[in-house]
Amino acid sequence: MTDLLIGGRWTGAIDERTREIRCPADGSLVAVVDEGGGKDAAEAVAAARQAFDQGPWPRTPAGPRGDLLLRVADLVARDKDALARAESLDTGKRLAESRLDVDDAVACFRYYGRLVRTETGRVVDTGTAHAVSRVVHEPVGVCALITPWNCPLPQTSWKVAPALAAGNTFVLKPSELTPSTAIALMRLLVEAGLPDGVANLVLGPGPEAGAPLTDNPDVDMVSFTGGLRTGRRVMAAAAGTVKRTSLELSGKNPNVVFADADFGTAVDHALTAVFRHSGQVCSAGARLMVEDSVHDAFVEAVVHRARGIRLGGPFDEQAQTGPLISAAHRARVEAYVAAGLAEGARLRCGGICPDDPALADGYYFLPTVLDGCHSGMSVLADESFGPVLTVERFASEDEAVRLANDTVYGLAGAVWSGDEERARRVASRLRLGTVWINDYHPCLPQAEWGGFKQSGTGRELGPGGLAEYRETKHIWRNTRPRPRGWFA
Ligand code: NAP
């Protein structure tokens, strides 16, 4: 077995452990992969350190670095079918969605491949004739890139592309549940000609293979995407050596519908916002907020359509959404719903596993709507990361903004209104990293992604995504050195 990439060599785990990867849609065996731990992580960091300190990549000019990323984009596009299939088998996600995720990865590598050529340093006016001052960008160093299981290929690409564009070396640790496209992407980096030791891959459970990356003194930066609780742990571990940290964490995202919104379109998007990939999307619009006068009709329409959503595996072309990632995650979603009901939420649909025997081997959970939710309930405070929509009502614009901001999270959300001025006003008052107006979910490689408040500290995509992986250095050059004579 050779699924770990360390110092340019494909290798097995030191302790020779392996893990079975099973498709969440039916439990079928997808692959058996190496499962590393602390010793493998330490070796990978040492390889990345050596490649950074002594290898050619950090000293390669931006032009050839950009060229390599463009080659990677072409290779990912070439392998689109195989990558999408692998992603769907690991995650249970519909194949059509995985294909979009591959497109997202291609766009990301293209974007940073082009951006890095144009993002130059600057010359600063020194105010004297005998000095030249330059501000230049340099890579941060060795980066630990830790990614979750919900959108593995895009999440990995959003880190790998800017980290490489900036000239860093890295150790990637994907989720233990979904390693296949990480392995495939590393093979494509090698095929594109990346020097040995620049890209390193460690597989294994987070506490064993991920945690040792976050406090290793040879790691300069940790870029982490995952849950809030793990994010806090990562930040604390990184503090010991004051590593740069870029955290992309959980969300509990408000989808705010005013009475003057286009009713049918807003209903349609309210469903996609939360039930796409069974709610396992960090930006899922899991918190529907509807203005009083249309609340009942709107919720009725959402519930009616949610009841009709067809569940199925990745290759079922009739399926509209798929399973949850694991039995443990489904149990967490069930407990989340039970807590909401115990606190007084009203179950409008779902709340249980489907009884269709064809779905019995997968981790399916019916699209669920919980009505009558209000501040103080755990279902509003916590992220379910499942197909569960909570519904609140509001009476005024001020109340909508106050309720929407009444959370520790600040990742994303939407405003629906036919009044452009109002939509803009509300969007600017929402403490969220991304706000959609009369839309939900679109994401662009050239526009930053990241959360406010406890949804994270980092920025991905856009020029800000590249800035995360760069140091900025000021170089002052005296062109006419003379003694100062102060202490003569
Ligand atoms: P998670 O449990 O926090 O895990 C994320 C990654 O961290 C996985 O690779 C995990 O490894 C690893 N990990 C676990 N414990 C660790 C530790 N002590 N030290 C270092 N690494 C550790 O999150 P998840 O369940 O995979 O992902 C779902 C969460 O991610 C949701 O909360 C979602 O909102 C968030 N998310 C956020 C964004 C964003 O852009 N803000 C995007 C996607 C997802 P193992 O899985 O192998 O244990």
Residue ranges of domains in the chain = 4-249+456-475, 254-437
Fold assignment, 4-249+456-475: Aldehyde Dehydrogenase; Chain A, domain 1 (3.40.605)
Give the model's pLDDT for residue 144: 99
The answer to whether 370 touches 348, Cβ cutoff 8 Å, is yes
**Average pLDDT of the chain to the nearest whole number:** 97
282 counts as catalytic? yes
CA of 127 to the centre of ligand 1 (A): 49
338-362 residue pLDDT tens: 999 999 999 999 999 999 999 999 9
Q: Whose CA is nearest to atom 15 of ligand 1?
A: 206
Type of residue found at 156: T
- d(CA 393, CA 167) in angstroms, rounded, equals 49
CA of 200 to the centre of ligand 1 (A): 19
- CB 206 near ligand 1, within 6 Å: yes
58-85 residue pLDDT tens: 999 999 999 999 999 999 999 999 999 9
CA of 386 to the centre of ligand 1 (A): 15
- CB 37 near ligand 1, within 6 Å: no
What is the mean pLDDT of the segment spanning 174-196? 98
Strand 131-139 with 122-124, pairing: antiparallel
Question: Which CATH superfamily groups domain 254-437?
Answer: Aldehyde Dehydrogenase; Chain A, domain 2 (3.40.309.10)
The side-by-side arrangement of strands in the sheet containing 470-478 is 122-124, 131-139, 470-478
The answer to whether 449 touches 100, Cβ cutoff 8 Å, is no
CA of 232 to the centre of ligand 1 (A): 11
Give the model's pLDDT for residue 488: 85
- Would the pLDDT of 455 be above 80? yes
106-165 residue pLDDT tens: 999 999 999 999 988 899 999 999 999 999 999 999 999 999 999 999 999 999 999 999
| Residue that is written with structure tokens 């019995």 in the block | 360
**E strands of 226-292, at which residues?**
244-248, 254-257, 287-291
**E strands of 294-425, at which residues?**
346-349, 368-371, 388-394, 412-416
CA-angle at 469, arms to 468 and 474, nearest 5°: 95
Which atom from ligand 1 is nearest to the alpha carbon of 237? 19
Q: Residues 23, 143, 151, 282: which is the catalytic one?
A: 282
Phi/psi of residue 399, nearest 5 degrees? -65, -40
- What pTM, to 2 d.p., does this model score? 0.97
Choose which residue among 282, 333, 407 to substitute to test ligand 1 binding: the one with the highest number of ligand atoms within 8 A of its C-beta: 282
248 counts as catalytic? yes
226-244 residue pLDDT tens: 999 999 999 999 999 999 9
